[in-house]
Structure 1
Amino acid sequence: MTIKFLKHVIWLLLLCSFAAFPAQAQTPDTLSLTRVEAEALFLEKNLALIAERLNIDQTEALILQAKAWPNPELEISEVNLWATPYQVANGDGAPPLFGDRFGRNRQFSVQLDQLVQTARKRKKNISLQVANRELAQTAYTEMLLSLKAEFRTQLSGLLYHQNNVRLLRQQQNVLSQLIRAQEAQLRNGNISKADFYRIRALGLSLRAELNEALQESNEAQKDLKSLMLLPADVTLFLSDKGALPRRSLLLNQSLDSLLTMAERQNPAVLVAASDLRVSEAEHTLERAMRVPDLTFNTSYDRGGNILLNFIGFGVTMDLPFFDRNKGNIKAAQVRVQQSRHLQSLRVNEAQKEVVRAYKDYLQLSGLYQSIDETYINELDEVLAGVSRNFQRKNISLLEFLDFFDAFKENKLLYFDTIRSLESKKEELNLLTGTDL
């Protein structure tokens, strides 16, 4: 009996351990990250960036191909596989090449051709592919900065929605306690139905706002999870605090320095400059194409002319009488001019955008600095105190409702100012090609 009992206990423990293992192996459906951790995951997983990086690898392969010399060309022709008796009797005949029979009375020719590019076409083609690689690298940098700015802006948006949801839930908790207290007061005849229904209407309105805020948060979650390649059922939560450190404000950056950065480092300007170098390299290569290439050849002919074994040399080239590549040269020249105009246009556009974004940022920065964070942080305690004073009838319903709305508006103004500041800062980062 004792042995059977021990066996049952052992089996029961094993079953419990196996049953508990899957529960421990399950991953939580909420992923809590800081903004820095989220950005690192985004840079690692984003498919658009991975695809853009492959363009650089592609241009590296084209540089490798441009460095290759043209292959020589081997031609074997005029081979007679047999000779008739008549041909042998009436011809001179030919001795064997090897041994007693191999190649006897057989005719053939062998020619080896080698193309030699003139006017340094090979080197100029390599320069063109190097310029294309620089263009691909610049385009990747532009996409990286653009996606980083978009991603950081969306992180700020998600943080705003999180704060908004938390604020509305806080107000909902305060209001739920107040409604329960007001129901007891209504039963005792201490308040009117009109006042009670006004509080109930406020609670219903608040519930609708919370539902809308949750939908906006879900939308922000969807966009971020797409950029980070996260599973659809994961809930992303940002653990950063809502407040901005004062040192993050760009008050030490002058407009002139930002304009200089935009002229030198703006991604669109750099792409336009790289595109100009590509068009100049194409123009240089098209000009070189006017010069005909040379094809050197050496040939061996057995039994095809007055000499039994003939070895000759030659050269082949196009005669540029009709086609001197004028059309392609002209098209490449026009593209160079077009690229120059586009580069000037991109510089002008970037500087105008910097001026606009910088002025907007200064205005938002002034608004943010005028907000007393101590006042914002103490609003939670004040809301609870106002609710208690309303229940004690120290303040009227109208005063309570005014403060309730003012509390929400002030909090949302604070959160929205932070979101707008970070959005403008990322816009300036993108325009100046830096991380300010």
Structure 2
Amino acid sequence: MRTIRMLFLTACISGLGYIQHVQAQITSQPVTLQAVEDSFLTKNYLLLAQRYQVDASKALIRQAKMWNNPSFSTVLGFGSTNNFKPFNVGAGGETQYNLDQLIQLAGKRNKTIQLAAAAAKMSEANFDELVRTLRLQLRENFYNVYYQQQSETVLKEQLDNLQKIVDAYVTADKKGSVAHADLVRLQALQVGIENDFADLKQQELESQKNLQQLLHTSVFYEARLQPADLASYNLDKIQLQPLLDSVAQNRPDVRMADMQYQTAQLNYRLQKSMAVPDLHVGATYDKQGSYTPNFVGLTLGIDLPTWNRNQGNIRAAQLQIGSEQQQLLQQQSIAQSEVLNAYQRILALEKRYKGFDLHQFQGEFDTLIAEVAKNFSKGNISLLQFIDYFNSYSDNAKNINKFLSNRVNAYEELNYATGQELFKN
């Protein structure tokens, strides 16, 4: 049993050591949040594609302003059934030319231009919504990488210190000066912390992958933050009610719902104008087919709205207004509830954050664990106490950095919920 347990522990430690060796071969590029965001705005393919959509929708405004092309037709004489002469257009032959221009009445052209302009605004709001969503993902993953790497640094230092103690116990065990069971307990502690480190590394790699996908790169990043970068994350100058009142103007998804509502109203007016027939104005020339040679005349034409007065489209457009209005109210309600939830989450986290100084606590805990290791080496504390302290230290490091990550991401979620940059330095 002892041999099996030793082989298992040795295999676990060797395997985790190999993982660390492979990971050590991956070089990381130091980067700040500002540098990541600058790269994101110029390299993200979804943003670049949406920019083309915005430009394309603006081009359609220009197209809507264009007049309809005139229509031209001609009649070329082929003689008669008694005297068939193909293309008899010379002396004694017949030629006729017709020119026709469609003139839209009831303001159809202007209403079409307004619809195209509304579609362009919708495309711009869609771009802003994409930026809002992807920026939240970018910042959350950046902060996750930073705090995960902070936890990894602590665990790595812990493992280095523990390795020295284990090495000393291995030497002492060979001499028979320590109980072998104590060495096994220390190695089990080492495996547990190695597993924690490996799990944390997997979480970081997931965050790294998300960053790489957003920035379309294969670079691994070493996130860099200064205390000044986080100083603006507070609610000192933020009031809830103005945030709730401003979502209609600042949130792109609410603006999109509002544009859908306005578009429905514009379409209703356009459909009503479609009930008014358009006017055809033109000119005609007839060489010899009229009562007088070289006849020239003005042509006027209009459809008679006898049966089709666009009744169905008008009714459908009218009902669509009601539908879009309800969806706008729904989106406004969703936006306000998200703002309220994000704000309340920050209040809850800040209450814990201000309850005690996490950084001071971490520093004191670092000092404590160093003293524990020193006293354990001198035999002043038992092995079980040492293991308990080490496990507590590992959990403390992970929990503090997880809490700090949750806190800053909560502020970013409030940015997202309001559609604003509330916490700029």
Tell me whether the two structures share a fold, i.e. TM-score over 0.5. yes
1:390 to 376, 389, 402: 376
Which residue pairs with 2:75 in the alignment?
77
Q: C-alpha separation between the residues in 1 aligned to 2:134 and 2:295? A: 68
Which residue pairs with 1:104 in the alignment?
91
Which residue pairs with 2:46 in the alignment?
48
The Cα shift of 1:190 comes to 3.8
TM-score (norm 2): 0.87
Deviations 1:211-255 (A, max 9, x none): 222222222211110100113xx2222122589744422243122
2:196 to 203, 209, 220: 209
Q: C-alpha separation between the residues in 1 aligned to 2:170 and 2:307? A: 100
Matches within 5 A, 1:238-277: 238-241=223-226, 245-277=230-262
Matches within 5 A, 1:12-31: 29-31=27-29
The Cα shift of 1:396 comes to 1.5
> Is 1:298 paired with 2:283?
yes
The Cα shift of 1:383 comes to 2.1
Q: C-alpha separation between the residues in 1 aligned to 2:404 and 2:206? A: 20
Q: C-alpha separation between the residues in 2 aligned to 1:215 and 1:243? A: 29
Q: C-alpha separation between the residues in 1 aligned to 2:134 and 2:55? A: 20
Moved more, 254-263 or 306-315: 254-263
> Is 1:334 paired with 2:332?
no
Alignment check: 8 A CA contact 2:139 2:412 kept: yes
RMSD: 2.2
1:72 partner amino acid: P
TM-score (norm 1): 0.85
Moved more, 368-377 or 56-65: 368-377
Q: C-alpha separation between the residues in 1 aligned to 2:399 and 2:135? A: 25
Which residue pairs with 2:151 in the alignment?
164
The Cα shift of 1:371 comes to 3.7
The Cα shift of 1:83 comes to 8.4
The percentage of counterpart residues that share the same residue type is: 30
Alignment check: 8 A CA contact 2:233 2:408 kept: no
Alignment check: 8 A CA contact 2:69 2:101 kept: yes
1:344 to 329, 333, 346: 329
Q: C-alpha separation between the residues in 2 aligned to 1:243 and 1:312? A: 81
Q: C-alpha separation between the residues in 2 aligned to 1:258 and 1:205? A: 46
The Cα shift of 1:378 comes to 4.0
Residues matched between the structures, number: 394
Which residue pairs with 1:97 in the alignment?
none
Q: C-alpha separation between the residues in 2 aligned to 1:154 and 1:329? A: 49
Unaligned runs of 5+ in 2: 1-25
The Cα shift of 1:183 comes to 2.3
2:183 to 196, 212, 215: 196
Q: C-alpha separation between the residues in 2 aligned to 1:384 and 1:207? A: 19
1:32 partner amino acid: P
Q: C-alpha separation between the residues in 2 aligned to 1:402 and 1:262? A: 50
Q: C-alpha separation between the residues in 2 aligned to 1:365 and 1:417? A: 11
Alignment check: 8 A CA contact 1:297 1:313 kept: yes
Unaligned runs of 5+ in 1: 1-27, 89-93, 95-101
Deviations 1:149-191 (A, max 9, x none): 1111111111122122222211111110111122233344443
1:78 partner amino acid: L
Moved more, 358-367 or 158-167: 158-167
Which residue pairs with 2:394 in the alignment?
408
Q: C-alpha separation between the residues in 2 aligned to 1:86 and 1:207? A: 105
Q: C-alpha separation between the residues in 1 aligned to 2:382 and 2:242? A: 55
> Is 1:377 paired with 2:363?
yes
Q: C-alpha separation between the residues in 1 aligned to 2:249 and 2:363? A: 42
The Cα shift of 1:300 comes to 0.4
Q: C-alpha separation between the residues in 1 aligned to 2:196 and 2:260? A: 50
1:175 partner amino acid: L
The Cα shift of 1:400 comes to 1.4
The Cα shift of 1:68 comes to 0.4
Which residue pairs with 1:309 in the alignment?
294
The Cα shift of 1:374 comes to 1.9
2:61 partner amino acid: I
Q: C-alpha separation between the residues in 2 aligned to 1:38 and 1:87? A: 81
User: Per the alignment, in what secondary structure is the counterpart of residue 370 of structure 1?
Assistant: coil
